[in-house]
Chains A and B, each alone.
Chain A
C-alpha cells in the first residue's frame, strides 16, 4: 500500500521536514518535545516504517549519545533533552528516506538547486549524487575483492605496505572507472543545458495539505507557549 507520504512531492517533503528539524532546535519546554514526539510517532504509524529500519539509522549515533551525556555530566536533564532532539531528528530523516526513492531525491535536489544555476550546474550536481549512490557500493565491493586477492596470496598479518598496496589498487581502479563512466556519459550525449527530465515532479493538493498540517503543529506549539 502506498502511503500519503510516498505520494507527496519529494521537494515538499524535504522542505517541510527540514523546517520541522530546524524548529526542533528552537524548542525548550518538555511539552513541546512531547508534541513533536507525538507527531513523529504519528508519522511512523502512517508510513509503517519498520522499527528495525529506524534502529539501524540510530545505531551510528549511540557513541555520540554517550558522549553528549558525558558532556552534560553536571546537568543530566539537559543532556537527555539534547539526545531527545537528535532522536527526533533521526526519526524525521528516516521518514524522509523511507518514503522517497533515490531518484526522487536526486530530481528534487536538482529542482531545489535551480535558483543557483548561475553559479553551479544543478544537473551536474544531481548527476554527481546519483553516480555516487550507484557506484560507491560497486567500489566497496571491489575493495573487498582486492583484499580477498591479497589474503588468497597468503597475506596473514597486515603491514603498512599491504594497506598501501590496497589503497593504490583502489585508487587505480577508481580512476579507471571514472574514465570509463565519463566516456559512457559522453557517448549518451550528456549535457547540462537544453535537456528534459523523465521524472516530472508535481506539487498537488496533497502537498498543500501536508504544509498545512506542519504549520498547524508549529502554530499549536507556539500558541501553547503563550497561553499556558
Chain B
C-alpha cells in the first residue's frame, strides 16, 4: 500500500496542499486534473523523486529510497528522455544492471519482456531509429522488466497517435502491476477502478470511478 498523509509542497506558491490518500496493491488508480493542477509533482513524491516537505509518503513500509524506486516504476511522458543506451535491449537491461542482477538472469528477463510487449524484433535496433510509439514501448519495457509492484504512468498517451495509444492501452490492461495513471483525459479512466481528482493542488474527489459525477468534474474544471 502507498500511503500519503497530509502532504504539502510549495515552491514560490503552494503546489500541493494537505493531500491524503492511499493506494492499495491490486487496485489501479487514475490521477485526474487540469493542466498545472499538480499531478506530476504529486506522483514524483510516490517513488521518492521528490521528498515530502510536510506530511509523509510511505510505500509498503520500505525504509530506503532505493527500495521504493525499485517497487514503484515510473514511465514518463516523453520516451526520448528516458532511454539512455543506444541499443534497445541494453537500454531495457539498464534498470536490471542497477539492481545487480546476474547477466544470465538479465538476458532471460529482457527476452521475456520483449516477447510480452511483442517487440522482440527491436532487440538489436538503434534507439535513435525507432518510431515514437516504439520508443514508448521500449521505455515501458525498461520499467516493467524491473517487476515493480506499482507503475506510475505520467500522461503516457499524450504524444502517441491513436493506433499506438490503443496498443499501449491493451498492454496496460494485460498487466498485473497496480497502475497509477496520470491523465487529463476522461476516456482513459476505463483502465482504473478508482480516481483521485485534483484542482489547484487540492483533492476535490477520491473514490470509485463510478461515483464520479458531471458536477464534480465541472467543479474541478475538467469539463466546460
* Chain A interfacial positions (CB closer than 8 Å to B): 101-103, 127, 130-131, 133-134, 137-138, 177, 180-181, 183-191, 194-200
Chain A residues within 8 Å of B100, by CB: 194-196
Chain A residues within 8 Å of B146, by CB: 188-189
Selecting from B90-98, B178-186, B208-216, the interface stretch reads: B90-98
Q: Let me know if A195 and B97 touch, CB within 8 A.
A: yes
Chain B residue nearest in CB terms to A192: B98
Besides the known contacts A133-B86, A188-B98, 9 further A-B residue pairs in the complex with CB atoms under 8 A apart: A102-B87, A130-B86, A134-B127, A189-B66, A196-B101, A196-B106, A197-B97, A198-B93, A198-B97
Cβ 8 A contact of A180, one of B81, B87, B98, B103: B81
* Chain B interfacial positions (CB closer than 8 Å to A): 44, 47, 49, 66, 69-70, 73-74, 76, 78, 80-87, 89-90, 93-103, 106-107, 110, 127-128, 142-143, 146
Chain A residue nearest in CB terms to B77: A180
Interface of A, helix, strand, loop or mixed by DSSP: helix
- Nearest-neighbour CB distance to chain B for A6, whole angstroms, equals 14
A-B contact count (CB 8 A): 93
Question: Can you give 16 A-B contacts (C-beta < 8 A)?
Answer: A102-B86, A130-B85, A134-B83, A134-B86, A180-B82, A183-B44, A188-B69, A188-B95, A188-B142, A189-B146, A190-B98, A194-B100, A196-B103, A198-B96, A198-B107, A198-B110
Q: Let me know if A198 and B103 touch, CB within 8 A.
A: yes
